[in-house]
Amino acid sequence: MTRYERRQLRRIERWFEHTDPALASVLAGRDPTVTATRRRSVLVWVTVLGFAFLLGGAVVHLPLVFAGFLLLMTAACMHVTRLRSAGTQD
């Protein structure tokens, strides 16, 4: 395959990823339901650990409050990016 053909192929792949991400992930061999489930489970665990650190830090050791706050901020960012990515697929 020539250099030009590879460039055109990458351009077509990017177009597919932009216009139909579900089809692009299926063609690439990734299962979108597994990816979404994995992301959702990570989001839940980060949120639960954030609350646990926040409450545990308030009771046991104050620096854990900071760690809990950082985890909750990470979870909030994950929620926002999840909502944005869900909104762009419509």
75-79 long-range contacts (CB < 8 A, ≥24 apart) are 75/43, 75/46, 75/47, 75/50, 78/39, 78/42, 78/43, 78/46, 79/43
Question: What is the tens place of the pLDDT at every residue in 20-66?
Answer: 777 777 777 766 666 778 888 888 888 888 888 888 888 888 888 88
For range 3-21, the mean pLDDT: 85
In Å, how far are 17, 52, 65, 79, 89 from 47, measured between CA atoms?
A: 30, 9, 14, 10, 25
What pLDDT is recorded for position 85?
Answer: 59
Q: Which residue has the higher pLDDT, 23 or 72?
A: 72
* The model scores a pTM over 0.85: no
